[in-house]
Chains A and B, each alone.
Chain A
């Protein structure tokens, strides 16, 4: 049977790449979401630039293939324009935690109703293996031949502090759990972050490490403090929803139930409104 969630574009990820796991989990999540009433025509995806972003060409969902680090900003614009859409912004650790980190922080701060999936492989793979914001100290890449002179930061703790209302981590090789988490993230009303631990077979092969160290987190933490403690402990090597809380979303607070696209006025009505200001 033909896979109707695949565009047919030639897939150029390395054999064994963690991105395949993410793609498959997303497809599974889309089907589950459809079963639960969120049809795929309402799903709108954005992607940054990097190996992660090739998912845009492969996955048969509408959206915008954005610039490096900007998929989160593009997604927020689309969400505000048409709140009926469910936005999934795909990004990498370089794009999301580096180039575009401000967009991520502010999306969390304002509780923008978008889901951000971070393909976190701890390396810039598409540009041939430079260190990323989540590479360990000492990581040797072409830009750091004597080893990474910086320490990685902890994206989960940062997102929690920024105000994220849904923070999860998953592992690309555990498909069921990843798919479930993505479903929960998309269903969450407000900002959701899914950080996906993902080996890069070519430049940062962490399969063995992740297979042995990633444990399952059964339940979200009850408090922000507990979530922060879990995120900090050993770098947070777990798969599961770390924190989930309900707060009004950015769109709701900014424009209530107003939808710019749905409320688009015809020429006469708009001119009437402009005339009331023009006198």
Chain B
């Protein structure tokens, strides 16, 4: 197979700047005009352990990392042992010879070289970038430029250390990889001044969702830290003033969800975020939002469960949990993005939908999309703006009966009486136990649900890729893995990815009802496969599952798909 991708893996202990080493390498390649995908694998600890970052780049669109790497940089012994098997044919292992006594590949005394500078242990991550630059034809000037951009502190020492590692690698081997990209074609010119201007920016899924919600008019974000959703909170907290958004971190997920309801009732466009376990605590409020008809949107980013599970890894086993949220009958919307660009657009779209229909909504995703970084162009102009129907004047009733079940909203301060309620209520929002009134309010909410479904019929709710070949069904971040596997394996197939999962777009599956499909998902019981046979009515011939916390690897997945095709 002709490789049209370049992969770099850097591994080390937590605290050695591994993630940074991956990010810097990714940013450098993005600045060269390449398409880049970065996946960070890290355990739930602060110091020690084994972290690694995988950066795959290509001149074509690249939707996944690969685990077969042209350049592996092992900062410690464990990384050497773990990743020796990940060196691609013709690739090279650059290892820290201070940590690995007898290694195969290119040994660089990364620790000894670092010991000449202060904070040696924190600096070894820079060796990753230096090795990559040395092996990919980057000049020292270009490398210095990257360091200046990426490592804000201690520029002089970092540059000197990087030079030492760079020279060591250059002297030890003539091996050079062609990265491609605009900048590389001018490589060696000494002009290192081409940077971000020539390439696409990089965002994680969480950053994209935060920005997408912001582009829809977000006023507040409320969150309680829980991996892998925490970086939505961090990103918005960091940029709150630039965006004009208030960010709150209260005492619990329960407080988060209920504060969000209060904020929305006061007129603020608000979003919350958590993982499955945190949402278990928000579920009561989700139902509250359904009854009170408060616009409510939460990011639910999954990690392997059940229970505490595996905090920093990926899984799609919260699908049924997401679809079945909240006790009682009420309309809700659940959608899951299949790319970082879609995460941005969908966050905005869902924000608009929950405001238009005063509904409870979930933006379902997984660690793999939440935390992976890709080069992406976020379509700000195309972002949906959240508005909602508001009262025009005259006597106000919060739960006014209307044809589509949507009652205009009004926010304080107002001389009208505005009563939002978790109890069953009459049109004015006063508690009722009257049989007719109970049924009438159910009918009103159900009409709203029907109107929501009608709206979805006018929207793009399903993505389709490929024109012929066998049918593959997948969703969420696994879409990335499937599309990259098809590219890696040069397989022709039709991929159908439902973006909206509730209300389920059955109308999009009419012509597929007689077909058999291969389903690919990250769960052990095949929750999505069950959903597809129950709701889409598609025959499921094969289910490809992965549930070890790791995202699919494209080459391996291509093999699985090929076997399923038979």
- Tell me the nearest residue of chain A to B240, going by C-beta: A255
Q: How many residues of B contact A (CB 8 A)?
A: 61
Most buried by B among A54, A85, A105: A85
Interface centre among A80, A102, A106, A254 (most CB of B within 10 A): A80
- A243 within 8 Å of B (CB atoms): no
Say whether A84 faces chain B, with CB atoms less than 8 Å apart: yes
8 Å CB contacts to B: which residues of A71-85? 73-82, 84-85
Which 3 pairs across A and B sit closest by C-beta, in order of nearness? A77-B262, A77-B259, A81-B268
Contact check, B412 vs A41: say whether CB atoms are below 8 A apart: yes
Give the shortest distance, in Å, between B46 (CB) and chain A (any CB). Answer: 26
Kindly state whether residue A9 has any CB partner on chain B within 8 Å. Answer: yes
- B174 touches A (CB below 8 Å): no
Give the docked Cα–Cα distance between A218 and B288 (Å).
42
Q: Is A224 an interface residue (CB 8 A)?
A: no
Segment from B215-223, B313-321, B452-460 that makes contact with A: B215-223
Q: B414 and A62: CB pair below 8 A?
A: yes
Q: Is the CB of A81 within 8 A of B266?
A: yes
* A264 CA to B214 CA, complexed, in Å: 11
Is residue B250 within 8 Å, beta carbon to beta carbon, of the partner chain? Answer: yes
Interchain nearest-CB distance for B215 vs A (Å): 5
Can you list 28 A-B contacts (CB < 8 A)? A9-B430, A41-B414, A42-B412, A44-B266, A60-B417, A63-B265, A63-B420, A64-B420, A64-B422, A65-B431, A67-B285, A67-B288, A77-B222, A77-B261, A78-B263, A82-B268, A85-B412, A103-B254, A260-B268, A264-B219, A264-B268, A265-B217, A270-B244, A273-B242, A274-B383, A276-B242, A278-B211, A279-B196
In the assembled complex, which residues on chain B have CB atoms less than 8 Å from the CB atom of A254? 246, 248
Q: Is B255 engaged at the interface, CB distance under 8 Å to the other chain?
A: yes
CA distance A105 to B252 in the complex (A): 12
Chain B: CB-nearest residue to A62: B418
Contacts of A261 in B (CB 8 A): 219, 266-268, 411
Name the CB-closest residue of A to B249: A254
What CA separation (Å) do A193 and B392 show in the bound complex?
37
Residue in contact with A85 in the complex, picked from B266, B415, B419, CB distance below 8 Å: B266
Q: Roughly how many angstroms separate A274 CA and B416 CA in the complex, as a whole number?
A: 35
Known: A102-B255, A260-B268. A65 touches B246 (CB 8 A): no
Known contacts A9-B430, A64-B421, A66-B422; is-contact A74 B411 (Cβ 8 Å): no
Chain B neighbourhood of A65, CB < 8 A: 292, 419-423, 425, 429, 431
- Across the interface, which residues of B come within 8 angstroms of A103, CB to CB? 251, 254-255, 258
Q: Which residues of A sit under 8 angstroms from B412, Cβ to Cβ?
A: 41-42, 44, 62, 82, 85
A75 engages B215 (CB within 8 Å): no
Given A41-B413, A42-B412, are A78 and B246 also a contact pair (CB < 8 Å)? no
Contact B255–A278 (Cβ < 8 Å): no
- Chain A residues within 8 Å of B343, by CB: none
C-alpha gap A39/B415 in the complex (Å): 10
Determine the residue in chain B with the shortest Cβ distance to A278.
Answer: B378
Query: What residue in chain A is nearest B344 (Cβ atoms)?
Result: A278
Q: Does B260 contact A (CB under 8 A)?
A: yes
Does B385 reach chain A (CB closer than 8 Å)? Answer: yes
Q: Which residues of A contact B211 (CB under 8 A)?
A: 274, 277-278
Q: Is A62 a contact partner of B417 (Cβ separation < 8 A)?
A: yes
B-side contacts of A56, CB under 8 Å: 419, 421, 431
A44 CB contacts on chain B under 8 angstroms: 266, 412
A57–B417 CA distance with the chains assembled, in angstroms: 11
Residues of B within 8 A of A66 (CB): 258, 261-262, 288, 422
Closest Cβ neighbor of A105 among chain B residues: B251
Given the interface contacts A41-B412, A44-B412, A270-B215, does A67 sit within 8 Å of B255 by beta carbon? no
What is the bound-complex CA distance between A255 and B221, given in angstroms?
A: 13
Residue of A67, A105, A264, A265 with most partner-chain B CB within 10 A: A67
